[in-house]
Amino acid sequence: MIKTISDEYVYKKEVDWSLLMEGLTLPVDNQVVFGQIMGRFIQRGESKDITLYLEGKAYHAKIVNVNFDPKFKRKKDTYQIRYSKNGELARALQAYFFKSFQFIKTTRENRDPSDRSMIKLPDEYKEYLAIYTTEYDDSYILEPILVDDMQVLREVVKGQKERELEAGLESDIQDETAGYDQMNQLIKIRKLNKKIGDNLKRLYQYRCQICGRLIGEEYGSHVVEAHHIEYFVKSLNNDASNQIIVCPNHHSIIHDVDPVFDRKRLLYIYPNGFEEKFVLNMHL
């Protein structure tokens, strides 16, 4: 049983068929968080038993270090969360994400059976599962982010200025104009957004990814901000892959002149032609 919940880390996964049926693969940069058992890493072919909590109910699952054929010379380990196929947790997730489930199920039934490509949800139907760590390395908390949550968010952010919105997402100030249900949905999404940003700040040890500076060090402080590459007001995308960690100066400049982000070369191109390459990157 969980005593106190310390949601130190969160992984946000877009809902797909696998998640609704039997499990999900964890990205490489999350493996330090999920891949440990009793202070060491789970070895290839090994697994650990875990408990997933969804709305107060406990479900049994496993984290597996997938053991591939050695002849493929796989360099990185691959971790998966697995639960029993179409079992209790899968059916609970299908009920929460019933819109995604119906959409993918119908698409699967109506397509050529030889087509095994992954079915992506259309943007307006996208739903997510947030997986929070706890102080126990065998217990995790699941939180569904539903179409309805995203809809509320879409209405609330409409017409807002990106920089103010980002500042609002980082703070715990509550929107007094929102109703009770709306409020709960916003708190849920704000918490998720803040946690993803906080995880990234920790990853970069509070340094700006563009200039590498640690602002406030001499004062025993650190001032750093999370910026959404594709503006959150438009994209509603707070995945780690859409966030960068920047110092307040760079953040202000970005919002002032709106440079173009070149993801491949990992640099910003400013309207005056100046190109500035990131000095730090571990997650893009």
Nearest distance from C-beta of residue 277 to Zn ion, angstroms: 12
Rule CB under 5 A: say whether 211 interacts with Zn ion.
yes
Q: Using CB under 5 A as the criterion, what x/- string covers residues 25-64 for binding Zn ion? A: ----------------------------------------
State how far the alpha carbon of 251 is from the alpha carbons of 89, 130, 166, 169, in Å: 42, 27, 11, 15
Rule CB under 5 A: say whether 208 interacts with Zn ion.
yes
Identify the residue among 33, 90, 247, 259 touching Zn ion (CB under 5 A).
247
Nearer to Zn ion, 188 or 251 (CB): 251
Rounded distance, CA 54 to CA 63, Å?
A: 17
Nearest distance from C-beta of residue 134 to Zn ion, angstroms: 30
State how far the alpha carbon of 266 is from the alpha carbons of 162, 262, 263, in Å: 22, 6, 5
Q: Are 59 and 90 in contact (CB under 8 A)?
A: no
Nearer to Zn ion, 188 or 250 (CB): 250
Token output for 256: 């002032």
Stretch of 131-139, 177-185, 189-197, 240-248 contacting Zn ion, by CB under 5 A: 240-248
Q: Is 214 helix (H, G, I), strand (E, B) or coil?
A: coil
**Which residues 212-231 are close enough to bind Zn ion by CB under 5 A?**
227
Element (H, E) at 103: helix 98-109
Q: Are strands 57-65 and 79-82 parallel, antiparallel or unpaired?
A: antiparallel
Number of residues counted as binding Zn ion (CB under 5 A): 7
Rule CB under 5 A: say whether 166 interacts with Zn ion.
yes
Q: Are 50 and 232 in contact (CB under 8 A)?
A: no
Nearer to Zn ion, 47 or 199 (CB): 199
Binding residues (CB under 5 A) for Zn ion: these are: 166, 208, 210-211, 227, 247, 250
